[in-house]
């Protein structure tokens, strides 16, 4: 069974061969650790990194403009980004609509050539999607991270946007419509490119509770989400959403809106809460802890965490996948333990 078939079966609860496991080495890691150390880890874990081969040249990726320390980057929405660390997306320092007086002359990006971060050749993107399917990988892609709510905060500023919602600012509806129209064009471009798992990544949670009240989410954001997901649902494409932080107060609305696979953080939301409220109801794409156990625990504690999560949230029918994003500062021995555990327990529910 190919990785693509296994993943689709997992999301659809159709008895996959194994629990899909994904370990992502972030761009910043190649600027923090010795290249050979990362290469050794990746070479030793072929299930997580199929076909990986060390080479004499540098694995350091060419960083996108918004991940280059010391450089300010203006995205297609006019938001000015800065980061202090190579390979890590920073924060918006200049909000193009900090003053509503500038709204009348404000021009959104052109979705024919842009996906929100920069330019995109959609014909080339379609070829890349077809190549993924040809090599047995799922054709998955999606809107840019922070496509709706966070984009509104980037444009207006978090505090200003919050006051807009509280005050019922009428121009906010026009801005939401502008952002939604751009995103909807991107959804259609991705469908034309052949995507079969459509992603709608957007962080909505803080360490405790959501960034936006459930009432404001229901009023301003959820209807837009549903309209953005409708074309993909109609086309039979699976709906995936990533959202960092504590999103327990919003989870039901996300599922009602059409999300079929939800990537949420494990310890922030609580493993037991996830099991009680989401298991069997939706595919749990579990985002493995980056704040506590994997950063400060022992390798044995890392292994125990993965085993507990697989045993608690998985089943022979599927409905569980797991992903870990490695960032600078994680002990390499814990990275090795996590890779070992993800490979070991991926077959825990195999018949």
Could you tell me the CATH number of the domain that includes residue 165?
A: 3.20.20.210
pLDDT band of residue 351 (cuts 50, 70, 90) is low
Percentage of residues of the chain with pLDDT beyond 70: 99
pLDDT band of residue 51 (cuts 50, 70, 90) is confident
Q: Does residue 308 form part of some domain?
A: yes
Residue 57 has pLDDT above 80, yes or no: no
Q: Does residue 351 form part of some domain?
A: no
Q: Does residue 289 form part of some domain?
A: yes
Percentage of residues of the chain with pLDDT beyond 90: 91
pTM comes to 0.95
CA distance 198 to 51: 25
Q: What is the mean pLDDT of residues 238-261?
A: 97
Q: Does residue 286 form part of some domain?
A: yes
pLDDT band of residue 17 (cuts 50, 70, 90) is very high
Q: Which two tokens stand for residue 85?
A: 């660390």
Q: Does residue 350 form part of some domain?
A: no
Q: What is the mean pLDDT of residues 130-141?
A: 90
What residues contact 47, with CB distance under 8 A and at least 6 apart?
21, 342, 343, 346
- pLDDT value at residue 84: 94
Residue 201 contacts residue 146 (beta carbons within 8 Å): yes
Q: Which two tokens stand for residue 255?
A: 């599922």
Q: Where are the beta strands (DSSP E) in the chain?
A: 21-25, 73-74, 80-82, 91-94, 140-142, 197-199, 238-243, 261-265, 283-287, 320-326
Its domain, for residue 270, covers 3-345
Residue 14 contacts residue 318 (beta carbons within 8 Å): yes
Residue 144 contacts residue 115 (beta carbons within 8 Å): yes
At residue 174, φ and ψ (nearest 5 deg) are -70, -35
CA distance 175 to 103: 9
- pLDDT value at residue 55: 76
Q: Does residue 218 form part of some domain?
A: yes
pLDDT band of residue 61 (cuts 50, 70, 90) is confident
What is the overall mean pLDDT for the chain? 95
- pLDDT value at residue 56: 67
Q: Is 323 helix (H, G, I), strand (E, B) or coil?
A: strand
In the chain, the number of structural domains is: 1
Residue with tokens 């910043």: 28
Q: Does residue 56 form part of some domain?
A: yes
CA distance 321 to 167: 41
Cβ-defined contacts of 102-105 (< 8 Å, 24+): 103/171, 103/174, 103/175
């Amino acid at each position: 069974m190919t990785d693509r078939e296994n993943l689709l079966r997992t999301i659809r609860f159709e008895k996959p061969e194994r629990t899909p496991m994904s370990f992502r080495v972030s761009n910043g890691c190649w600027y923090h650790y010795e290249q050979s150390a990362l290469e050794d880890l990746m070479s030793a874990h072929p299930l997580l990194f199929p076909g990986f081969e060390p080479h004499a040249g540098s694995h350091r990726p060419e960083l996108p403009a918004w991940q280059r320390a010391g450089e300010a980057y203006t995205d297609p929405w006019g938001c000015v980004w800065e980061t202090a660390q190579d390979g890590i997306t920073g924060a918006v320092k200049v909000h193009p609509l900090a003053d509503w007086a500038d709204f009348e002359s404000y021009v959104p990006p052109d979705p024919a050539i842009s996906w929100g971060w920069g330019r995109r050749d959609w014909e080339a993107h379609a070829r890349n999607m077809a190549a993924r399917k040809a090599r047995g990988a799922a054709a998955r892609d999606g809107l840019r991270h922070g496509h709706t709510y966070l984009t509104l905060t980037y444009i207006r500023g978090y505090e200003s946007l919050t006051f807009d919602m509280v005050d019922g600012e009428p121009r906010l509806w026009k801005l939401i419509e502008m952002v939604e129209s751009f995103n909807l064009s991107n959804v259609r471009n991705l469908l034309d490119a052949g995507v079969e798992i459509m992603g709608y990544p957007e962080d909505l949670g803080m360490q405790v509770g959501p960034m936006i009240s459930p009432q404001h989410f229901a009023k301003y954001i959820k209807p837009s989400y549903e309209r953005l997901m409708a074309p993909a649902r109609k086309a039979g494409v699976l709906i995936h959403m990533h959202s960092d932080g504590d999103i327990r107060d919003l989870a039901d609305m996300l599922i009602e809106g059409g999300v079929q696979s939800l990537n949420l953080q494990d310890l922030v939301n609580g493993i037991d809460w996830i099991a009680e409220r989401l298991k069997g109801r939706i595919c749990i794409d579990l985002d493995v802890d980056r704040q506590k156990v994997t950063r400060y625990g022992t390798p044995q504690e890392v292994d125990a965490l993965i085993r507990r999560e697989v045993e608690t949230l998985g089943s022979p029918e599927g409905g569980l996948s797991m992903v870990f994003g490695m960032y600078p500062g994680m002990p390499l021995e814990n990275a090795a333990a996590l890779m070992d555990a993800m490979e070991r327990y991926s077959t825990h529910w195999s018949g």
